[in-house]
């Protein structure tokens, strides 16, 4: 078994971060379509259409936690934890996803800001969910019939298949529905960078020792955990039996 850690969700480049509350409950805020090159014409959901996950915010939508100017933006909800799918067509992540096998772990972490009474809330990154891999789909290797069937059935809820954007080079991971989970409370894996301001945070010493991950936890570069002692530590951290 091996594990792949990916950063997902909104970040400062989109003008916001996901909120993390004092008890480490949280809201996962997805990115939105910027529509610079190719306008999104199929997906219609905005931040108003996604209900809050945290019990602290029952009956609210996640629009409550994003700036007013982006509340009506069309969202790209990926990963999604209703049918447990995640996809990516970009080369770095595509190649990483293709290395996953059945029963490997795909672990997601988000960029968050702690919501409390501090004048300068601390920013960081937090693990908030995982898939136990059931199957990997390389869209480039599927025929038209296979794509149609998957789009209508097991992968219907995936953001890339709900979108009008190109599906070239797309890889989709489907998680085992019984062995995949969005956590009720997220797990902080970062600490403030005391050596400089860029990046503002790095992997914490605790997590580097526990999971054998590198300092840099930037968005675009996947993190691998492959050695058995660290896989066992990760499973304990996620409460996977």
Q: Which residues of the chain have pLDDT under 50?
A: none
Q: State which H helix or E strand residue 6 sits in.
A: strand 3-8
- d(CA 108, CA 128) in angstroms, rounded, equals 6
Q: Look at residue 119 in the predicted model and tell me its pLDDT.
A: 64
Give pLDDT, residue 121. Answer: 76
Q: What is the pTM of this model?
A: 0.95
Rounded to the nearest 5 degrees, what angle is found at the Cα of 118, between the Cα atoms of 112 and 123? Answer: 20
Indicate the number of domains in the chain: 1
CB 205 within 8 A of CB 189: no
Range of the domain at 203: 3-237
Distance separating alpha carbons of residues 118 and 225, to the nearest angstrom:
34
DSSP 146-213: HHHHHHHTTTTT-TTTSSSS--TT-EEEEE-TTT-EEEEEEEE-EEE-SS-SSSSEEE-HHHHHHH--
Average model confidence (pLDDT) for the chain? 94
pLDDT in tens, 100-143: 999 999 999 999 999 876 667 788 999 999 999 999 999 999 99
Q: Could you read off the pLDDT of 187-198 as tens digits, one per residue?
A: 999 998 888 778
Strand, helix or coil at 216? coil
């Amino acid at each position: 078994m091996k594990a792949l850690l990916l950063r997902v969700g909104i970040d400062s480049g989109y003008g916001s971060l996901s909120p993390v509350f004092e008890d480490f409950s949280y809201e996962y805020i997805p990115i939105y379509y910027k529509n610079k090159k190719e306008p999104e014409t199929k997906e219609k959901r905005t931040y108003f259409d996604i209900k809050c996950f945290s019990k602290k915010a029952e009956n609210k939508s996640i629009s409550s936690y994003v700036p007013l100017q982006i509340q009506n933006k069309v969202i790209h909800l990926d990963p999604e934890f209703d049918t447990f799918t995640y996809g990516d067509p970009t080369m770095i992540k595509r190649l990483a996803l293709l290395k996953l096998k059945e029963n490997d772990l795909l672990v997601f972490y988000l960029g968050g800001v702690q919501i409390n009474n501090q004048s300068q809330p601390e920013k960081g990154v937090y693990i908030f969910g995982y898939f136990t891999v059931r199957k990997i789909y390389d869209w480039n290797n599927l025929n038209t019939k296979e794509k149609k069937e998957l789009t209508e059935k097991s992968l219907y809820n995936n953001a890339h298949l709900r979108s009008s954007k190109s599906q070239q080079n797309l890889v989709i991971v489907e998680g085992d529905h019984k062995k995949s989970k969005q956590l009720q409370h997220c797990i902080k894996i970062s600490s403030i960078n005391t050596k400089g301001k860029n990046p503002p945070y790095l992997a914490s010493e605790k997590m580097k020792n526990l999971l054998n991950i590198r300092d840099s936890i930037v968005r675009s570069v996947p993190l691998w955990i492959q050695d058995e002692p660290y896989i066992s530590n990760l499973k304990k951290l996620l409460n996977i039996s």
